[in-house]
Amino acid sequence: MKKTTLLVLTFCLLSFKEMSAQKFRRFSNHTSFNYFFGIADNEHEKKGDMFNISTTFNYKIKPSYGVGIGVGQGNHRVDQEVFGENYNLFSIFLDSRFFFQNKLQGLAIYFNPGYALKIDPAWRKGLMLGLGASYPFSRRKHSNWNLSLNYRYQEVLQYKPDLEPIKLHGIGFGVGFSFH
Residue 50 falls within a domain, yes or no? yes
What CATH number does residue 59 fall under?
A: 2.40.160.20
* Residue 54 dihedral angles phi and psi, to the nearest 5°: -145, 155
Q: What is the pTM of this model?
A: 0.77
Comparing CA positions, the residue from 80, 82, 87 lying closest to residue 50 is 87
Domain span at residue 38 reads 29-179
Question: How many structural domains are present in the chain?
Answer: 1
Residue 1 falls within a domain, yes or no? no
Residue 17 falls within a domain, yes or no? no
**What is the pLDDT, as a whole number, of residue 14?**
56
Comparing CA positions, the residue from 94, 169, 173 lying closest to residue 132 is 173
Residue 10 falls within a domain, yes or no? no
Average pLDDT over residues 117-126: 85
Question: Is residue 116 within 8 Å of residue 124, measured between CB atoms?
Answer: yes
Residue 79 burial (C-beta neighbours within 10 Å; 0-12, 13-18, 19+): middle
- Asked whether the predicted pLDDT for residue 169 surpasses 80, the reply is yes
- Asked whether the predicted pLDDT for residue 149 surpasses 90, the reply is yes
Which pLDDT band, with edges at 50, 70 and 90, does 18 fall under?
very low
Cβ neighbours for 29, distance < 8 A, ≥ 6 positions apart:
11, 12, 15, 55, 56, 57, 58, 178, 179
Residue 166 burial (C-beta neighbours within 10 Å; 0-12, 13-18, 19+): buried
Residue 132 falls within a domain, yes or no? yes
Which pLDDT band, with edges at 50, 70 and 90, does 100 fall under?
confident
